[in-house]
A and B are shown apart, each in its own frame.
Chain A
Amino acid sequence: MEPGEIHALLGENGAGKSTLMNVLYGLLQPDEGEILVNGAVRHFRSPGDAIAAGNGMVHQHFMLVPVFTVTENIMLGAEQTSAGPIALLDRRTARSHVLEVSQRYGLPVDPDATVEDLPVGVQQRVEIVKALVREVDLLILDEPTAVLTPQETDELLSVMRTLKAAGKSIVFITHKLKEVKAIADRITVVRRGQVVGTAQPDATEDSLAALMVGRSVRLTVDKAPADPGETVLSVRGLRVYDDRGHPAVDGVDLAVRAREVLGIAGVQGNGQTELVEAIMGLRPVAGGEIDLAGQNIATRNTKDTLRTGVGYIPEDRSVDGLVKDFTVAENLVLDVYDQPPYAAGLALRPAAISRAAKELIAEFDIRTSSSETPVGTLSGGNQQKVIVARELSRDLRMVVAAQPTRGVDVGSTEFIHERVIRERDEGAAILLVSSELDEVLGLADRIAVMYRGRILATLPAGASREQVGLLMAGITGDTA
């Protein structure tokens, strides 16, 4: 790393990017090898050591205390106290320090705001200020754009340029090729724990992707134009509350027809999660109707909905999709374990479960040492394939796929996309919810953009990135 350089670290999930950076930040200890800072070997036993050596990190999941103010969060771990017999927290000095740093680098934050009230993009800014206050020279940004709107991403990129101009070095971890090309001075690609190449920002996206996965991949999805049939799912005037009791879905109307993919684009947290959970019977419906194949399912339980022929890929695989301590085989029957041939009366039939598991492992190319391996030991992409295999192996009229490729490597993503399109071509209606704009643009036959609990507009397949991106930010034609 050079001073004042933006160095992109590009690699698939599980390639070792985050592990490497956690070593630099002192969260993990290296088994072998050395870290050199300004020519000297350094050992980081804790993040404290790393910060002292000038390394700061902004994690993918923010390390902020939601109920504390911005100032309190920033002083956390480096609290300054007043002189005297009883050391009191010196909030005033810390606050002025925060203001000074945020002005110097053009990162406007309100030092007195409570963190949980701030939008995600601003929370991220707080994380960056937190690192800068500790006077780091090297800033590690771990997948910083995953949670941002396209507009917020642009802002972040300009902040990175400012920091670069101020002589700070930045390690930018990502798997989004466009951003890498837009900002990086140098690109290092890692695969399976090894550096497989370095590239300049003028390299083509295709060549970078090929370097990442070790072979050339198609970033677009091959599919025939949709040939929609009758309406399978129709949602009218749906209202749903979130966990805190605030309206999250506020009057949504949509219809999904057989043999088409309706993509719902939107930045995370605009009600997509609640919409999907309401359809699946996992969250109470406060108002409106949900019809599946002509029957109202608004009051039905999840089991009945699944049994009606709905395949459901939940957005958070480790929380909602898989039981990590269970084996691959057990997870593959998680929603059909009590159906023949997997059960006879109360008794499970392990032989049938194991046979089905072996078939699905082969068909869906799940990389596991055996069907009896605990699913938690698989890589993210293979865990996701277990869910996809389970859900798409039933007889389906409809697939509800929420963030089906989040945190999944390019190879698995391509595979999952192909399977989803195959389900469409075989006659299922597909509801795809994704905050990856490219995924929605690539897969959807119609695109509905969700913003603050409402569908702002529904666009045809050929809509442009910019058009959808503006809608995702809540900017409609009338107000723009």
Chain B
Amino acid sequence: MTVTPAEAQTPVAAPGRPGPARRVFDWLTTANTLTVTVLAVVLALVVGAILIIIGDEQVRAEWGYLFAAPGAVLGDSLSLVGDAYGNLVKGSIIDPSSVSGAISGTNSWSLAFAPISETLTYTAPLIFTGLAVAFAFRGGLFNIGAQGAVIMGCIGGAIVGFALPMPYGLHLIAALLGAAIAGAIWAGIAGYLKARTGAHEVIVTIMLNYVALQFLYWVIRQQGVHDPTRSDPISKPVHGTARLPLLGGANLRWNVGILLGVLAAAGVFWLLQRSTVGFELRAVGANPDAARTAGMSVAKAYILAMVVSGALAGLGGGVQVLGTAYTLTPAVAGTLGFDGITVALLGRGRPWGVALSALLFGALHAGGNHMQSNSHVAVDLVTVVQAVIVILIAAPGLIKEIFRLRAARTGSAAGTLAKGW
């Protein structure tokens, strides 16, 4: 206790400090966020490869002759996996044959860009739903209700999009606003109930998801919404004035939604890290008692967290219906909201982490479609891979054990995921 403050503040210089290369290596072999995430993805792809081999009837039969012809069995297995994952890459990033085709003029350039376009098309709404879950998460709320808010956002965006004629520009803004407000109100219900009555947000939002889905089924069938030229449940298409502009030609689906997604990530980052609102929200999320003692209103923070979360999810629905789907169908929202939970978990609740993990999931989705049509491996494999990634992230101890990583000095991913319940 005789140490002066000056001494205490000097970082302890270890004798024989290791060189830079050694330090980078040390960092990479610690159980830090980046290493754990990359290894989780790799391990999940290995699990996927095993499933591909088991799932192929012919190769599975060959394994019976493993000891008779080990080379052939392993070779066939590897080529099967290589073909499937090759198509995954071709469908999501780049297909060399269509690039060379475009250069030599045998196919259009848009075919060469198609994989990236598809990836970004799937990525855009996932960024929003991922941000929605992450934002609530930082406020200490586990929002399972992104799905319901996405559905309400789809409905809000679509109805403004086809029912209210407006000029270019204004119409798109109004439609996006409609989507955001619809989502905000929907999630706000759960926030209000949590703040006023203590109702657990997990239960309330799960129930609201059911209600939203049934509301969608009902709305599509209503006069004024239903497309009178069709007998199946489908709404009128949104006007061209309310659609998100495409980024490159009519043959590619990518649209302004991905840019909005990046802007949203930047906005959420600012809101969480650089604003008083975010400070309050993070304080409430990390320790509501201390936040209350410091004069913050916990109830206000909960409502705000859910309203903003719902607005983000609603915008995700808006981007989906105004950028890609154009009509309301029972499946318009897919599983965007639920995928948002996985995206947020993989992104550790950090805005840029969310954007990157949305990109990964978007690529897996786009590539999965291509893999299904070209390698006869079901697109559902991608869902399994996503799930395995998240399980491995949720149990960082597992990755640490498998790869014999050293413990990270500061908090690892475990903390992010263990909270919220």
A and B bound? yes
Distance in angstroms between the alpha carbons of A213 and B277 in the assembled complex = 43
Q: Tell me the minimal C-beta distance from B34 to chain A in angstroms.
A: 19
Q: Are B5 and A367 in contact (CB under 8 A)?
A: yes
Distance in angstroms between the alpha carbons of A137 and B291 in the assembled complex = 46
* Residue B406 interfacial (CB < 8 Å): no
Task: Among B8, B278, B282, B297, point to the contact of A326 (Cβ < 8 A).
Answer: B282
Q: Are B275 and A334 in contact (CB under 8 A)?
A: no
Task: Among A307, A326, A347, A409, point to the contact of B275 (Cβ < 8 A).
Answer: A347
Task: Among B11, B293, B411, point to the contact of A302 (Cβ < 8 A).
Answer: B293
Task: Among A302, A320, A338, A374, point to the contact of B276 (Cβ < 8 A).
Answer: A338
How many residue pairs at the A-B interface have CB separations less than 8 Å?
A: 95
* Residue A348 interfacial (CB < 8 Å): yes
Report A-chain residues with C-beta under 8 Å of the C-beta of B415: 325
Report A-chain residues with C-beta under 8 Å of the C-beta of B1: 12, 213-215, 409, 411
Tell me the residues in window 287-329 of chain B with beta carbons closer than 8 Å to chain A beta carbons.
287, 289-297
Report A-chain residues with C-beta under 8 Å of the C-beta of B292: 282, 302, 320
* Residue A312 interfacial (CB < 8 Å): yes
Closest A residue to B277 using CB positions = A346
Q: Are A343 and B276 in contact (CB under 8 A)?
A: yes
Known A215-B2, A326-B286, A367-B5; judge A348-B291 contact (CB<8 A).
Answer: no
Q: Are A334 and B286 in contact (CB under 8 A)?
A: no
Q: Are B3 and A367 in contact (CB under 8 A)?
A: yes
Closest A residue to B415 using CB positions = A325
Task: Among B274, B286, B293, point to the contact of A348 (Cβ < 8 A).
Answer: B274
Size bin of chain A's contact surface: 35 or more
Distance in angstroms between the alpha carbons of A432 and B282 in the assembled complex = 31
Report A-chain residues with C-beta under 8 Å of the C-beta of B223: none
What's the dominant secondary structure at chain A's contact region? loop
Q: Tell me the minimal C-beta distance from A472 to chain B in angstroms.
A: 26
Tell me the residues in window 296-341 of chain A with beta carbons closer than 8 Å to chain B beta carbons.
301-307, 312, 314, 319-326, 330, 334-335, 337-338
Q: Tell me the minimal C-beta distance from A218 to chain B in angstroms.
A: 14
Q: Are A322 and B275 in contact (CB under 8 A)?
A: no
Distance in angstroms between the alpha carbons of A367 and B11 in the assembled complex = 12
Q: Are A350 and B294 in contact (CB under 8 A)?
A: no
Task: Among B8, B277, B295, point to the contact of A301 (Cβ < 8 A).
Answer: B295
Distance in angstroms between the alpha carbons of A409 and B1 in the assembled complex = 10
Report A-chain residues with C-beta under 8 Å of the C-beta of B274: 347-348, 350
Known A213-B1, A320-B290, A321-B293; judge A368-B276 contact (CB<8 A).
Answer: no
* Residue B104 interfacial (CB < 8 Å): no
Q: Are A321 and B3 in contact (CB under 8 A)?
A: no
Report A-chain residues with C-beta under 8 Å of the C-beta of B294: 302, 306, 334-335
Known A326-B282, A409-B1; judge A370-B276 contact (CB<8 A).
Answer: no
Of A302, A305, A312, most buried by chain B (CB within 10 Å of CB) is A302
Tell me the residues in window 345-366 of chain A with beta carbons closer than 8 Å to chain B beta carbons.
346-348, 350, 361-362, 365-366
Closest B residue to A410 using CB positions = B1
Closest B residue to A362 using CB positions = B5
* Residue B279 interfacial (CB < 8 Å): yes
Report A-chain residues with C-beta under 8 Å of the C-beta of B296: 303
Report B-chain residues with C-beta under 8 Å of the C-beta of A343: 276
Report A-chain residues with C-beta under 8 Å of the C-beta of B289: 319-320
Distance in angstroms between the alpha carbons of A12 and B1 in the assembled complex = 11
Q: Are B9 and A214 in contact (CB under 8 A)?
A: no
Distance in angstroms between the alpha carbons of A215 and B1 in the assembled complex = 8
Distance in angstroms between the alpha carbons of A358 and B286 in the assembled complex = 23
* Residue A369 interfacial (CB < 8 Å): yes
Report B-chain residues with C-beta under 8 Å of the C-beta of A301: 295, 297
Q: Are B282 and A348 in contact (CB under 8 A)?
A: no
Q: Tell me the minimal C-beta distance from B278 to chain A in angstroms.
A: 8
Known A319-B290, A335-B295, A348-B274; judge A368-B410 contact (CB<8 A).
Answer: no
Q: Are A348 and B276 in contact (CB under 8 A)?
A: yes
Known A326-B283, A335-B295, A337-B279; judge A361-B290 contact (CB<8 A).
Answer: no
Q: Are B295 and A323 in contact (CB under 8 A)?
A: no
Distance in angstroms between the alpha carbons of A319 and B290 in the assembled complex = 6
Task: Among B3, B11, B280, B290, point to the contact of A369 (Cβ < 8 A).
Answer: B11
Report B-chain residues with C-beta under 8 Å of the C-beta of A306: 294-295
Distance in angstroms between the alpha carbons of A322 and B293 in the assembled complex = 9
Known A215-B2, A346-B275, A348-B274; judge A323-B290 contact (CB<8 A).
Answer: yes
Closest A residue to B279 using CB positions = A337
Known A302-B295, A411-B1; judge A374-B410 contact (CB<8 A).
Answer: yes
* Residue A428 interfacial (CB < 8 Å): no
Q: Are B275 and A323 in contact (CB under 8 A)?
A: no
Please, what's the 1-or-0 string for A366-389, where 1 marks a CB less than 8 Å from any CB in chain B?
111110001000000000000000
Report B-chain residues with C-beta under 8 Å of the C-beta of A215: 1-2
Distance in angstroms between the alpha carbons of A362 and B7 in the assembled complex = 12
Distance in angstroms between the alpha carbons of A79 and B292 in the assembled complex = 43
Task: Among A304, A312, A324, point to the contact of B293 (Cβ < 8 A).
Answer: A312
Q: Are B8 and A323 in contact (CB under 8 A)?
A: no
* Residue A280 interfacial (CB < 8 Å): yes
Distance in angstroms between the alpha carbons of A362 and B289 in the assembled complex = 28
Q: Tell me the minimal C-beta distance from B78 to chain A in angstroms.
A: 44
Of A306, A324, A334, A346, most buried by chain B (CB within 10 Å of CB) is A334
Q: Tell me the minimal C-beta distance from B135 to chain A in angstroms.
A: 16
Distance in angstroms between the alpha carbons of A302 and B300 in the assembled complex = 14
Q: Tell me the minimal C-beta distance from A378 to chain B in angstroms.
A: 11
Q: Beyond the given A321-B290, A326-B282, A367-B3, could you list 10 further A-B residue pairs with CB under 8 A, ordered by the A residue number?
A: A280-B293, A306-B295, A319-B290, A320-B292, A326-B286, A334-B290, A346-B275, A347-B276, A367-B5, A367-B8
- Can you pick out 26 interface pairs between chain A and chain B where the beta carbons lie within 8 Å of each other? A215-B2, A282-B293, A301-B295, A303-B297, A306-B294, A319-B289, A321-B290, A322-B287, A322-B290, A323-B282, A323-B290, A323-B291, A325-B411, A325-B415, A326-B283, A330-B283, A337-B276, A346-B277, A347-B275, A348-B274, A348-B276, A362-B5, A367-B8, A368-B8, A374-B410, A411-B1
Complex A-B, nearest 10 residue pairs according to Cβ-Cβ distance, in ascending order:
A303-B295, A335-B294, A334-B294, A320-B293, A411-B1, A338-B276, A323-B287, A367-B8, A302-B295, A325-B286
